[in-house]
């Protein structure tokens, strides 16, 4: 259905081809997953199928890409629109109209289908994707998962043979991601749609793939094979594969179910060590126990003589925005040195809570305090020394056009010694030249730069909103190390995340939010183990033992 | 969820044609230009407000009504402010206050700054300001009753792509505002004050960059979804289209010129009509190049006729009344008298309430 013949793509101004030696075929009705670390050209390969590369992006494409027999060199994207449906990373930038029903019809209108055919397909698609209740809704009022389903629906209505998806579940909470993946599986199984999809969160998608195309490193030709074969050599892999590799299971299990069947031996082996499981998180966990003793460095750093043991807190906090109750009666305490993961659906109030803690949102009722100050009444210059937030889009924090200028500005803003920020950047990102434009950094580098900017003011409380969106496993593990070090230094960290694996690795405490209310608050192991959607893969495999990460198991075994 | 199962009071099929709403609102606006009687104007505002309150759907764009009302108030206030500071040549006798007059050089004669403020001036300025405000509120009603994007979708095929471009541009304004708000908030996270004009200026560049990136992404998405696909049209038809459109437009220009000059009285009108016909034919022929079809286009049904008709009736009746009884519709200010409510024109204005009773109830949108 899709055939790449020795394809290489060189963008204008680039010395090396972004991808080369791409030579494989995606048979009809298969779901092929494109995996690899950030920056290896996954989006370029996807774009080549829909013709957007090179017709829209510019650059030179050598070789030949054919889709359903049509050569993308001679067919522009609009002439491929009836065979290829493309959904990009951000569904919001995909929408042309404003209501769900119009959006589903838009593609068919462009293709000139007959009105009765359009009507029938819209109704079918509404049912297929479970959107019937939302048909008249305006798209901007939908949740992330719903928007993603509408975006997929809007390219499905012209009945394309091929669907191209770039990170369809990265921005979604676990439940919404499953919703979207269930739809994709149904398309492949029932309608014979061919799907080529790139995704960083392999733990969510790897079991659905018929084949995996691995781009191991920039410029390297892709390796194609069955999921088990490719996962055995891949530099990026989900925890279930990590556990499989650790225990030398062949063939590698890809699903929790497969792994559980094999894990009897491992569970026995681990059985006696179970009590260590929680402390196996070792150093990090111990730090939390005596927070008061570690108050001393904390105090000097934040220049506060009377730091209470509670670093920040909310009491009966309620926030109402646009007549919607975003948070209701939240009680929260954050102590120095602890890492808290805020989890919950899209729209559960996680970002609102973080924004309230930095004073971007005024509470409608109740109290918030951060380091003894009320955030929304504190002038920004003072507040940055008490609390720092890295927003969901780290780019929002960056204004300057070079890394060096950004650092100088950060020093001035924070009233820190000149060079403080640059030193932090050099520590976190050793090989970034001063004159790089923040826009040219990768997703992970940009996040780290924003983090350095925030840390320049040395806030004892650090907040992160969805820090792993768009990060590959390597960038994520660097982030984990970094945040652990910060927590060990006494920073309190609160992160809002959908990434259960990240929460399992990092958090001491998990707070689950639903509809603006706290529904669970406790040590990570207790909260996530009992939840079907928030339990990490390792927990599911080794249940009823309470292991959270592959690293813990590895430590216990050695 | 019980809130959105149940009987749906409005749906796509029961939606009124957006053109009907625009005609109704513009007709009400026209009626407003016929009178300065504050009671009649207030009645017009009340009519439009009642219809908006009963018929407006729960969509983000429908909230623009309040914005228009605020704009109208601002216009009214500015008009009054001008009347106070600049005075007016109206020979009024009821002096309310005398402001110090600023002496102006001789070349600015005829302009007065400060001086006597009379009740007559103020009342007159209020009447005129209210007229303008009513007009604005009527436009606001159209905006919140009918999605402007849907109106653009009713354009003929040849103009469709232009319509889409305008729709996309329209949806960008709210996005841009949201971006500005988000980035100004982000300034606070950097420890910079998030208010003030400097804050706004510093986020300008990132906001524009973001908007540009978003438009490029949208353009890519639209291209990949078949925007701009054209049908193969024989070159002969293409050339005819160009000739008809260009010739038609030239004819329209020449005809208009003819109509406006003294000599062209004879050929002006026929040339204008011929040009218009040619241009319309060109548009229609040009529509053949587009493959597009329409998904569930809004139908112009009886209700649309009634809504548009009720507006037109208000406009026509008030125009008639303005010629028959100018005194009642334009109450004098010298001498200062309380305006009276003319019975028949008031009854005519109430005809504009018809849509509230025949148009579908607003769509409930759970959020």
* DSSP secondary structure, A247-265, as one string: TT-SSPP-SHHHHHHHTHH
Q: What is the pLDDT of residue A173?
A: 83
Q: What is the pLDDT of residue B3?
A: 39
| Measured CA distances, A493 to A482, A488, B300 (Å) | 11, 11, 59
pLDDT at B126 over 70: yes
Chain B positions touching A135 (Cβ under 8 A) are 12
Q: For chain B, report the end-to-end CA distance as a whole number of angstroms.
A: 12
Considering the domain boundaries, does residue A394 fall inside one? no
| A156 and A49, same domain (yes or no) | yes
- A421 closest CA partner among A450, A401, A387, A396: A450
The shortest C-alpha distance from A96 to chain B (Å) reads 7
Q: What is the pLDDT of residue A272?
A: 75
Chain B positions touching A84 (Cβ under 8 A) are 224
Instruction: At A311, list the tokens.
Output: 């670093």
- pLDDT band at residue B360 using 50, 70 and 90 as cut-offs: low
* A residues 384..423 contacting B (CB < 8 A): 384, 388-389, 391, 395-397, 399, 409-410, 413-414
Chain B positions touching A81 (Cβ under 8 A) are 224-226, 229
Residue of B nearest to A49 (CA): B224
Residue for token pair 């190390």: A481
The shortest C-alpha distance from A12 to chain B (Å) reads 17
Instruction: At B211, list the tokens.
Output: 């908007």
Q: For chain A, report the end-to-end CA distance as a whole number of angstroms.
A: 48
The shortest C-alpha distance from B304 to chain A (Å) reads 21
Poorest-pLDDT segment among A246-255, A455-464, B38-47, B291-300:
B291-300
| A202 and A310, same domain (yes or no) | no
For chain B, how big is the Rg over CA atoms in Å? 26
> Residues with Cβ < 8 Å from B234, sequence gap 6 or more?
none
Residue A460 near residue A490 (C-beta atoms within 8 A): yes
Poorest-pLDDT segment among A231-235, B85-89, B327-331:
B85-89
| A200 and A99, same domain (yes or no) | yes
DSSP A205-246: HGGG-SEEEE--STTPPPEEE-HHHHHHH-SS--HHHHHHHH
* B residues 200..219 contacting A (CB < 8 A): 202-203, 205-206, 209, 214, 217-219
Residue of B nearest to A321 (CA): B367
Residue A317 near residue A366 (C-beta atoms within 8 A): yes
The shortest C-alpha distance from A182 to chain B (Å) reads 22
Residue for token pair 């429908």: B62
Burial class (CB in 10 A: 0-12, 13-18, 19+), A69: exposed
Q: Cβ of B170 under 8 Å from any chain A Cβ? A: no
Nearest to A107 among B186, B225, B296 (CB): B225
The shortest C-alpha distance from B240 to chain A (Å) reads 24
Please state, in angstroms and rounded to a whole number, the distance separating the CA atoms of residues A362 and A162: 47
| A93 and A170, same domain (yes or no) | yes
Nearest to A112 among B12, B205, B293 (CB): B293
Residue A10 near residue A18 (C-beta atoms within 8 A): yes
Considering the domain boundaries, does residue A496 fall inside one? yes
Residue of A nearest to B13 (CA): A136
Residue A378 near residue A359 (C-beta atoms within 8 A): yes
Quote the crossing angle between the two packed helices B197-224 and B160-189, to the nearest 10°. Answer: 140
- Interchain contact, B221 vs A56, CB within 8 Å: no
The residues with which B115 forms a beta bridge, in sequence order, are B99
> Residues with Cβ < 8 Å from B2, sequence gap 6 or more?
none
Q: Cβ of A82 under 8 Å from any chain B Cβ? A: yes
Q: Going residue by residue through chain A (558 aa), what tens digit of pLDDT does each one get?
A: 999 999 999 988 888 888 999 999 999 999 999 998 887 888 899 999 999 888 888 889 999 999 999 999 899 998 899 999 999 878 888 888 888 998 999 999 888 899 999 999 999 999 888 889 888 888 877 877 788 889 989 998 998 999 999 988 887 888 888 888 988 998 899 889 999 999 988 989 998 999 999 999 888 899 999 999 999 999 889 999 999 999 999 889 999 999 999 998 898 888 877 644 444 343 333 333 333 333 334 333 444 444 457 889 899 999 988 778 889 999 999 999 899 999 988 888 898 999 999 988 899 999 999 988 899 898 888 888 899 999 888 888 888 888 898 899 889 888 888 888 888 888 877 778 888 888 888 778 888 899 999 989 889 999 999 888 778 888 888 889 989 999 999 899 999 998 888 999 899 999 999 989 999 999 988 888 878 888 999 999 988 888 888 988 988 888
Considering the domain boundaries, does residue A263 fall inside one? no
DSSP B129-182: HHHHHHHHHHHHHHHHHS-HHHHHHTS-GGGHHHHHHHHHHHHHHHHHHHHHHH
| A34 and A171, same domain (yes or no) | yes
Considering the domain boundaries, does residue A350 fall inside one? yes
The shortest C-alpha distance from A481 to chain B (Å) reads 24
Q: Cβ of A300 under 8 Å from any chain B Cβ? A: no
- B361 closest CA partner among B46, B9, B62, B93: B9
Instruction: At B261, list the tokens.
Output: 């000059």
Chain B positions touching A389 (Cβ under 8 A) are 189
Q: Cβ of B149 under 8 Å from any chain A Cβ? A: yes
Residue for token pair 């009504």: B65
Task: Determine phi and psi for B98, rounding to 5 degrees.
Answer: -115, 115
pLDDT mean across residues, chain B: 82
Sign of CA pseudo-dihedral B121, B123, B126, B131:
negative
Residue of B nearest to A323 (CA): B367
**Cβ pairs A/B, distance under 8 A:** 172
pLDDT at B128 over 50: yes
- A349 closest CA partner among A372, A324, A370, A312: A324
- Interchain contact, B226 vs A384, CB within 8 Å: no
Residue A432 near residue A389 (C-beta atoms within 8 A): no
Please state, in angstroms and rounded to a whole number, the distance separating the CA atoms of residues A330 and A314: 7
| A421 and A296, same domain (yes or no) | no
Instruction: At A34, list the tokens.
Output: 């494109």
For chain A, how big is the Rg over CA atoms in Å? 24
Residue for token pair 């790139």: A198
Q: What is the pLDDT of residue B39?
A: 93
Chain B positions touching A102 (Cβ under 8 A) are 295
Q: What is the pLDDT of residue A251?
A: 84
Q: Cβ of A124 under 8 Å from any chain B Cβ? A: no
- Interchain contact, B191 vs A381, CB within 8 Å: yes
Q: What is the pLDDT of residue A285?
A: 38
Q: Are strands A509-514 and A339-344 parallel, antiparallel or unpaired?
A: parallel
Chain A positions touching B221 (Cβ under 8 A) are 86, 88, 93-94, 96
Residue for token pair 């803003």: A413
* B residues 109..148 contacting A (CB < 8 A): 147
Poorest-pLDDT segment among A100-114, B158-172, B247-261:
B158-172
How many domains are contained in chain A? 3
Chain A positions touching B190 (Cβ under 8 A) are 380, 384, 397, 399, 409-410, 413, 453
Please state, in angstroms and rounded to a whole number, the distance separating the CA atoms of residues A144 and A148: 6
- Interchain contact, B191 vs A383, CB within 8 Å: yes
Sign of CA pseudo-dihedral A103, A107, A112, A116:
negative
Residue of B nearest to A382 (CA): B191
| A440 and A533, same domain (yes or no) | no
Q: Cβ of B194 under 8 Å from any chain A Cβ? A: yes
Residue A131 near residue A153 (C-beta atoms within 8 A): yes
Please state, in angstroms and rounded to a whole number, the distance separating the CA atoms of residues B249 and B256: 11
Q: What is the pLDDT of residue A293?
A: 39
Please state, in angstroms and rounded to a whole number, the distance separating the CA atoms of residues B116 and B96: 8
Task: Determine phi and psi for B327, rounding to 5 degrees.
Answer: -65, -40
Which of A457, A480, A498 delimits the end of a domain? Answer: A457
Q: What is the pLDDT of residue A88?
A: 83
Please state, in angstroms and rounded to a whole number, the distance separating the CA atoms of residues A142 and A424: 39
C-alpha A25, offset from chain centre: 29
What are the extents of the domains in chain B? Answer: 18-147+299-358, 155-224, 235-289
Q: Are strands A461-465 and A387-390 parallel, antiparallel or unpaired?
A: parallel
> Residues with Cβ < 8 Å from B107, sequence gap 6 or more?
none
Q: Cβ of B13 under 8 Å from any chain A Cβ? A: no
Chain A positions touching B205 (Cβ under 8 A) are 399
Chain B positions touching A391 (Cβ under 8 A) are 186, 189
| A305 and A431, same domain (yes or no) | no
| A15 and A126, same domain (yes or no) | yes
- Interchain contact, A106 vs B225, CB within 8 Å: yes
> Residues with Cβ < 8 Å from A342, sequence gap 6 or more?
A350, A353, A354, A494, A495, A496, A497, A511, A513
Nearest to B226 among A90, A110, A141 (CB): A110
- A66 closest CA partner among A3, A138, A145, A114: A3
Domain range for A373 is: 282-386+459-557
Residue B241 near residue B285 (C-beta atoms within 8 A): yes
Q: What is the mean pLDDT of residues B53-82?
A: 86
Q: Cβ of A381 under 8 Å from any chain B Cβ? A: yes
- Interchain contact, B226 vs A453, CB within 8 Å: no
Residue of B nearest to A100 (CA): B12
| A439 and A488, same domain (yes or no) | no
Chain B positions touching A147 (Cβ under 8 A) are none
* A residues 443..502 contacting B (CB < 8 A): 453-454, 457
Considering the domain boundaries, does residue A397 fall inside one? no
Nearest to B221 among A93, A137, A379 (CB): A93
Q: Cβ of B299 under 8 Å from any chain A Cβ? A: no
Global pTM reads 0.78
The shortest C-alpha distance from B144 to chain A (Å) reads 14
Please state, in angstroms and rounded to a whole number, the distance separating the CA atoms of residues B54 and B221: 37
Task: Determine phi and psi for B301, rounding to 5 degrees.
Answer: -110, -170
> Residues with Cβ < 8 Å from A147, sequence gap 6 or more?
A91, A92, A95, A139
C-alpha A355, offset from chain centre: 19
pLDDT tens figures, B142-164: 988 887 777 777 777 777 777 77
Q: What is the pLDDT of residue B133?
A: 95
pLDDT at B41 over 80: yes
- Interchain contact, A88 vs B365, CB within 8 Å: no
pLDDT tens figures, B223-243: 888 887 877 778 888 888 889
Q: What is the pLDDT of residue A289?
A: 37
* A residues 180..209 contacting B (CB < 8 A): none
| A199 and A316, same domain (yes or no) | no
The residues with which A62 forms a beta bridge, in sequence order, are A8
Please state, in angstroms and rounded to a whole number, the distance separating the CA atoms of residues A220 and B73: 65
pLDDT at B9 over 60: no
Q: E strand or H helix at B113, and its extent?
A: strand B113-118
Considering the domain boundaries, does residue A11 fall inside one? yes
**ipTM, interface predicted TM-score of the complex:** 0.80
- Interchain contact, B220 vs A88, CB within 8 Å: yes
Considering the domain boundaries, does residue A516 fall inside one? yes
Sign of CA pseudo-dihedral B190, B192, B193, B197:
negative
| A25 and A126, same domain (yes or no) | yes
Which long-range CB contacts under 8 A does B190-193 form with residues at least 24 apart?
A: B190/A380, B190/A384, B190/A397, B190/A399, B190/A409, B190/A410, B190/A413, B190/A453, B191/A380, B191/A381, B191/A383, B191/A384, B191/A413, B191/A414, B191/A457, B192/A380, B192/A381, B192/A413, B193/A379, B193/A380, B193/A381
């Amino acid at each position: 259905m899709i055939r790449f013949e020795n394809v290489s793509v060189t963008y204008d101004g680039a010395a090396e081809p972004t991808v080369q030696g791409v030579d494989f075929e995606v048979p009809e009705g298969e779901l092929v997953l494109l995996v690899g670390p950030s920056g290896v050209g996954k989006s370029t390969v996807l774009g080549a199928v829909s013709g957007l590369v090179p017709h829209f992006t510019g650059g030179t494409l050598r070789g030949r890409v054919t889709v359903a027999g049509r050569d993308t060199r001679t067919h522009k994207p609009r002439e491929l629109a009836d065979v290829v449906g493309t959904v990009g990373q951000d569904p919001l930038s995909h929408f042309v109209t404003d209501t769900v029903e119009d959006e589903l019809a838009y593609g068919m209108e462009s293709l000139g289908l007959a009105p009765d055919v359009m009507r029938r397909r819209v109704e079918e698609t509404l049912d297929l994707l479970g959107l019937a209740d939302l048909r008249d809704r305006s798209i901007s009022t939908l949740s992330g998962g719903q928007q993603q389903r509408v975006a997929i629906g809007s390219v499905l209505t012209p009945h394309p043979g091929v669907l191209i998806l770039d990170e369809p579940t990265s921005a979604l909470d676990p439940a919404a991601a499953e919703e979207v993946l269930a739809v994709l599986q149904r398309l492949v199984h029932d309608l014979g749609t061919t799907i080529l999809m790139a995704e960083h969160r392999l733990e969510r998608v790897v079991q659905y793939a018929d084949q995996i195309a691995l781009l191991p490193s920039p410029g390297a030709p892709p390796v194609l094979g069955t999921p088990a074969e490719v996962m055995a050599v891949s530099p990026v892999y989900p925890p279930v594969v990590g556990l499989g590799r650790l225990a030398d299971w062949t063939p590698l299990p890809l699903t929790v179910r497969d792994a559980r069947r094999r894990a009897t031996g491992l569970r026995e082996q681990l059985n006696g060590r179970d009590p260590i499981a929680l402390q196996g998180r070792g150093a990090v966990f111990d730090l939390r126990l005596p927070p008061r003793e570690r108050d001393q460095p904390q105090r000097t750093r934040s220049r506060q003589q009377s730091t209470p043991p509670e670093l920040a807190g909310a009491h009966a906090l309620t926030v109402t925005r646009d007549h919607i109750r975003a948070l209701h009666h939240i009680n929260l305490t954050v102590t120095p040195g602890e890492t808290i993961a805020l989890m919950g659906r899209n729209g559960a109030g996680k970002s609102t809570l973080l924004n309230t803690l930095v004073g971007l949102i005024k509470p409608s009722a109740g109290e918030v305090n951060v380091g003894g100050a009320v955030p929304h009444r504190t002038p920004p210059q003072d507040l940055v020394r008490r609390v720092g937030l890295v927003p969901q889009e780290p780019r929002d924090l960056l204004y300057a056009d070079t890394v060096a200028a950004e650092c100088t500005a950060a020093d001035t803003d924070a009233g820190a010694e000149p060079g403080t920020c640059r030193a932090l950047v050099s520590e976190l990102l050793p090989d970034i030249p001063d004159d790089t434009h923040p826009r040219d950094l990768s997703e992970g580098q940009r996040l780290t730069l924003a983090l350095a900017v925030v840390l320049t003011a040395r806030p004892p409380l650090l907040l992160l909103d969805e820090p792993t969106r768009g990060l590959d496993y390597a960038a994520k593990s660097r982030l984990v190390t970094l945040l652990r070090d910060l927590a060990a230094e006494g920073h309190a960290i609160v992160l809002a995340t959908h990434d259960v694996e990240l929460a399992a690795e990092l958090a001491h405490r998990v707070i689950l939010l639903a509809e603006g209310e706290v529904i669970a608050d406790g040590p990570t192991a207790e909260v996530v183990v009992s939840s079907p959607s928030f339990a990490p893969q390792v927990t599911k495999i080794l249940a009823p033992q309470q292991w959270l990460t592959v690293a813990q198991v590895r430590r216990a075994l050695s | 969820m019980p809130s959105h199962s149940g009987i749906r009071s409005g749906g796509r099929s029961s939606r009124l044609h957006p053109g009907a709403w625009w005609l109704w609102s513009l007709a009400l606006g026209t009626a407003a230009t016929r009178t300065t009687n504050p009671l009649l104007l207030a009645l017009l505002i009340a009519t439009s407000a009642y219809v908006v309150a009963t018929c407006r759907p729960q969509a983000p764009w429908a909230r623009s009504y309040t914005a228009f009302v605020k704009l109208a108030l601002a216009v009214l206030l500015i008009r009054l402010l001008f009347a106070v500071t600049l005075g007016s040549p109206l020979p009024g006798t009821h002096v309310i206050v005398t402001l110090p007059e600023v002496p102006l050089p001789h070349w600015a004669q005829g302009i007065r700054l400060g001086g006597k403020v009379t009740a007559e001036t103020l009342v007159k300025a209020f009447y005129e300001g209210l007229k303008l405000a009513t007009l604005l509120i009527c436009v606001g009603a159209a905006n919140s009753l009918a999605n402007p994007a849907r109106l653009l979708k009713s354009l003929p095929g040849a103009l469709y792509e232009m319509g889409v471009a305008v729709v996309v541009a329209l949806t960008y304004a709210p996005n841009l505002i949201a971006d500005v708000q988000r980035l100004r908030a982000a300034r606070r996270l950097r420890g910079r004050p998030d208010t003030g004009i400097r804050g706004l200026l510093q986020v300008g560049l990132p906001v524009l960059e973001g908007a540009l990136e978003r438009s490029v992404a949208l353009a890519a998405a639209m291209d990949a979804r078949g925007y701009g696909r054209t049908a193969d049209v024989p070159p002969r038809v293409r050339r005819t289209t160009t000739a008809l459109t260009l010739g038609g437009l030239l004819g329209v220009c020449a005809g208009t010129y003819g109509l406006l000059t003294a000599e062209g009285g004879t050929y002006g009108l026929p040339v204008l009509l011929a040009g218009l016909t040619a241009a319309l034919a060109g548009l229609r022929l040009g529509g053949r190049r587009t493959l597009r079809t329409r998904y569930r286009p809004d139908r112009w049904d009886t209700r649309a006729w009634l809504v548009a008709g009720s507006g037109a009736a208000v406009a026509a009746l008030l125009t008639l009344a303005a010629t028959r009884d100018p005194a009642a519709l334009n109450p004098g200010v010298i001498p200062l008298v309380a305006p009276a409510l003319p019975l028949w024109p008031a009854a005519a204005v109430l005809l504009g309430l018809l849509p509230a009773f025949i148009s579908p109830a607003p769509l409930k949108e759970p959020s």
